[in-house]
A and B are shown apart, each in its own frame.
Chain A
Amino acid sequence: MEEIRLEALRALTILAIHDEEFRRAMWVDPEGTLDRCGFALNDAEMAQVNSFFNAVRESVDVDLFSGLTEAHR
């Protein structure tokens, strides 16, 4: 599995921490939001981003709790 480039991950983290508009928009339209913010992710990177958001966006918290409990152990 191809890694997402480190610079992109760092920039995404900074935006997710500091930019309220980015935080709201990412859950609605990850690809469009990244495009508007000037990210040029390749197809493999974008697939990873979409895979994460698809897994989490539509889930209800109870599903996340189960993952959380397993993660923490």
Chain B
Amino acid sequence: MTRRFYEVNSVAYRSKKANLDKLPASERVEIVFAFLDELILALPLGPRHRHLLQIHLSVGKERAVAWPQMSSIQLPILVHAAITGDERPALPVAGACTLLYLGADLFDSIIDDELPPLWQARDPSEASLAATTLLGALPQLSIARLQEQGTPPERLWTLAHLFAEYGLTMGAGQYEDLLFSSLENVSIEDSRAMAEHKSGAEYALFATAGATLTTEDPSAIEAYAAFGSCFGIAQQLINDAQDIWGHKRGQDLANGKRTLPVTHALCTLRGDRRERLQELLTSARESTELHDGVRELLAEAGSLRYTALIVWLYQQQARSHLASASPHEPAARELYKLLDQASILPHPRKAQSSD
């Protein structure tokens, strides 16, 4: 038990007069990022190298403050609390999950040519170096902090192995994402499996890491892993739809990505309409002006509604797996609430005023 860990851990927690075991999502964000700030400050690195890591930590924190539901923070902590009633011991695990998420996110941004503004003045090789460090070294160092709270070595090893196994699956999903852009016939199942490998594995890790810290019961660990996997698939498909139709559209069409809405449209349209979509998808890599044409054909195929259906089916599966784990309150309520947000459903239209 070193002073460093408890400086971060206790100052934030002791400042709460309320129940220490149940914090709002936004306060978990503050505590996890305070922990990571301190972890990175303690690394034996030169100031410029350290600064690269701090850049992406800032990106991540800004995002988490705007969206406190960030799964790498909430899932490990809430799953741990759903088993034990205590959030606090899961802090280093949430730190490790968040570092892995940030590293994977940064690599994804480099590949998709979507680097956040803080990185745009920098050489991409610096971003690659930061991503490698965030993914490869820091999660292990965050897990090592568990020694300070007396976690036995065999459990540390189990956690380290989990990160390696799920990280491998995530890498396979990322590879499929790259590969499918150059293939002619990608099926709906291929796109689904890619979402499972990329984000299903990531969320499964977040949930399983929280569970593994506190239990060896295989049925509980499997239930949380399945919950995380289904939740992650649903969230990935939402992100894929958001990239095409959302207010802040991404680069998937420009990068030729074969996400589920696109493969659904290619499998649904026939004859000239399919050929037209194929042509537009090819040309859309060169010209964003053609993206509206792609969206029109996806609408014609009902691809957004279909994506909403698959998201709903995975959301319901995640609910079922979570129920089977019998999570304790109040963490259970928060886990269900997080899951409820993973859906694509229309907002009720406002009633027209009669006056």
Contact = CB atoms under 8 A, between A and B. Distances in A.
Contacts of B320: 3-6, 9
A13 B341 CA distance: 20
Interface string B288-323: 000000000001001011101110111011011101
Q: Is the interface of A mostly helix, strand, loop or mixed?
A: helix
Given A3-B316, A9-B317, A17-B188, A67 B344 contact: yes
A27 B302 contact: yes
B305 A64 contact: yes
Interface string B55-80: 00000000000110100000000000
Given A13-B313, A16-B313, A61 B299 contact: yes
Given A4-B316, A17-B310, A70 B347 contact: yes
Interface string A6-40: 10011011001110100100110000000000000
Task: Assign chain A's interface to a size class.
Answer: 20 to 34
Given A13-B313, A61-B245, A71 B341 contact: yes
Interface string B332-355: 000000000111111101000000
Contact of A56 (B188, B309, B347): B309
Interface in A41-73: 48, 52, 55-57, 59, 61, 63-73
B316 A65 contact: no
B305 A57 contact: yes
Interface of A: 3-6, 9-10, 12-13, 16-18, 20, 23, 26-27, 48, 52, 55-57, 59, 61, 63-73
